[in-house]
Amino acid sequence: MYPEDLRYTREHEWARLEDGRVRVGITQFAAERLSDVVFVELPAPGSTITHLETFGVVESVKAVSDLYAPVSGKVVEVNPALTERPELVNQDPYGAGWMLLVEPTDPAEFAGLLSAEAYRALIGQETG
């Protein structure tokens, strides 16, 4: 399930524009491939992230995956619930499993991300 109102990266992150800020998480495809998430390592609020560079790590029992920033900017908020309940990433990847809220520095970056249709095509390629 890949909501139309989100945009996506090739590395399976999603981004949602909310009043000029960008909320970030990982897609259902990524969450399913990882299977049960046990830990999420995120940057501290106030730190800077850079478009397409890693900003953290998501860990399951069988893998550790890097997280790639959909946009550059300053981290305004980090989801506090994920410390106690990393499983939210699997249960509700686009809602309660969100990871970061970012104050973006370059609006062109968000526009340059994949649409839902393009993302579906991408993962169709990966699974097909």
Partner 1 sequence: MAEGDFPLLIERSAPGRVGAAVPASDVPDVPLEDILPAAVLRRAGPPLPEVSEPDLVRHYTQLSQRNYGVDVGFYPLGSCTMKYNPKINEDAARLEGFARLHPYAPDAQAQGALRLLHDLERMLAEVAGMDAVTFQPAAGAHGELTALLMIRAYFAERREARTHVVVPDSAHGTNPASAAMCGYKVLHVPSDARGNIDVDALRRVADERVAALMLTNPNTLGLFEERITEVEEIVHGIGAQLYLDGANFNAVLGITRPGDQGFDVMHMNLHKTFSTPHGGGGPGAGPVAVKAHLAPYLPVPVVVREGDAFRWDYDRPRSIGKIRSFYGNFGVLVRAYTYLRTFGPLLRQVAEAAVLNANYLLALLRDTFDLPFDRRCMHEFVLAGTRQKREYGVSTRDMAKRLLDYGYHAPTIYFPLIVDEALMIEPTETESRETIEEFARALLAVAEECRTDPDLVRAAPHRTVVSRLDEVSAARRLDLRWPQADPPG
Partner 2 sequence: MTRQTAPQVTTAWTPHKYLPLTPDDRAHMLRRLGVAAVEDLFADIPQSVRLLRELNLPSVPSDADLLRELRELSRQNGDADRLTCFLGAGAYDHFIPSVVWHLAGRAEFYTAYTPYQAEIMQGELQAAYEYQSMLCALTGMEVANASMYDGASATAEAAVMARDLTRRDQVLLSTALHPEYRQVVRTYTRHLDLEIAEVAHRGGVTAVETVRAALSEHTAAVIVQHPTFFGGLEDIAQLAQAAHAAGALLVVAVADPVAYGLLRPPGALGADIVAGEGQPLGNPLNFGGPYLGMLATRQAFVRRMPGRLVGRTVDTRGRRGFVLTLQTREQHIRRERATSNICTNEALNALAAGVYMAALGRVGLRQVAEVCVRKAHYARSRLEAIPGFRVAFPGATFHEFVLRCPRPPEEINARLAAAGVLGGLALGRFYPELRDGWLLCVTENRTRVEIDRLADLLGEMA
Quote the least distance from Cβ 26 to partner 2, whole Å: 16
Among 10, 17, 21, 38, binds partner 1 (CB under 8 A): 38
From 4, 21, 30, select the one nearest 114 (Cα to Cα). 4
**Binding-residue total with partner 1 (CB under 8 A):** 8
d(CA 17, CA 101): 10
Q: Which does 86 bind (CB under 5 to 8 A by kind): partner 1, partner 2, none?
A: partner 1
User: 26 near 58, Cβ under 8 Å?
Assistant: yes
DSSP of 48-100: EE-TTSEEEEEEESS-EEEEE-SS-EEEEEE-THHHH-TTHHHH-TTTTT--E
Q: Which does 122 bind (CB under 5 to 8 A by kind): partner 2, partner 1, none?
A: none
d(CA 56, CA 65): 9
Site string for partner 2, 59-98 (x = CB under 8 A): xxxxxx----------------------------------
Among 3, 39, 45, 121, binds partner 2 (CB under 8 A): 39
Residue ranges binding partner 1 (CB under 8 A): 36, 38-39, 59-61, 86-87
Residue ranges binding partner 2 (CB under 8 A): 39, 41, 59-64
